[in-house]
């Protein structure tokens, strides 16, 4: 009996140290969403290959700083450069480097805008990866395959035939999203 007890404790210690394993898509989805929302900061960069709607390709950079700062910067010639910053309920916008505008949005609009980054819809799971609905896809049937850190459930990279999305700078204190200076208010307040 003495030999079994230390072996049992050793096995318990080994299994407790292993990364959590999520067996189904809904479990991984919940953990990934929690991991993204718990991060103090992160950056996700989507590189879109040339196609009909973006003949020269495009790049969209999402920057997140907790608790309530979000930036989306999109470049895809011939379309104008689009820069959007959300701080709380204040939404700032600038197109092609023009002066900034600002308006106040309600929770539903802010959440809807940010949902591409924070709310992945995972459809299947495999070891170290998952497949989710492509946040930049044309339909809800378009998917993208992703890898993630099995210990933290933070996404690392996603790819399909049309694009690659890489995640980086988790909890990086150097990341900041300042409010634009002197924006012109475009809503009634």
Please report, for the domain that includes residue 133, its CATH number.
2.50.20
Looking at 119-157, list the stretches that DSSP marks H as alpha helix, in order from N- to C-terminal side: none
Q: What domain range includes position 168?
A: 20-185
Q: What's the whole-number average pLDDT of the chain?
A: 86
Tell me how many helices (H) and strands (E) the chain has: 3, 12
Above pLDDT 70, what percent of the chain? 87
Mean pLDDT of 42-54: 91
Q: Is residue 83 part of a domain?
A: yes
- How many structural domains are present in the chain? 1
Predicted pLDDT of residue 9: 33
Predicted pLDDT of residue 23: 57
3-class state of residue 2 by DSSP: coil
């Amino acid at each position: 009996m003495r030999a079994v007890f230390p072996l049992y404790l050793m096995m318990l210690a080994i299994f407790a140290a292993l990364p959590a394993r999520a067996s189904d898509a809904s479990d991984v989805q919940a953990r990934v969403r929690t991991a993204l929302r718990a991060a103090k900061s992160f950056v996700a960069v989507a590189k879109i290959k040339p196609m009909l709607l973006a003949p020269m390709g495009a790049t969209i950079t999402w920057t997140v700083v907790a608790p309530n700062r979000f930036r989306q910067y999109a470049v895809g010639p011939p379309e104008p450069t689009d820069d959007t910053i959300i701080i709380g309920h204040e939404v700032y916008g600038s197109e092609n480097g023009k002066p900034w505008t600002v308006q106040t949005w309600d929770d539903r609009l802010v959440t809807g805008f940010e949902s591409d980054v924070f709310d992945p819809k995972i459809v299947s799971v495999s070891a170290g990866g998952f497949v989710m609905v492509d946040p930049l896809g044309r339909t809800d049937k378009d998917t993208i395959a992703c890898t993630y850190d099995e210990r933290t459930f933070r996404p690392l990279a996603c790819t399909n035939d049309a694009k690659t999305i890489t995640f980086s700078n988790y909890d990086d204190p150097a990341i900041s999203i300042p409010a634009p200076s002197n924006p012109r208010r475009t809503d009634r307040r």
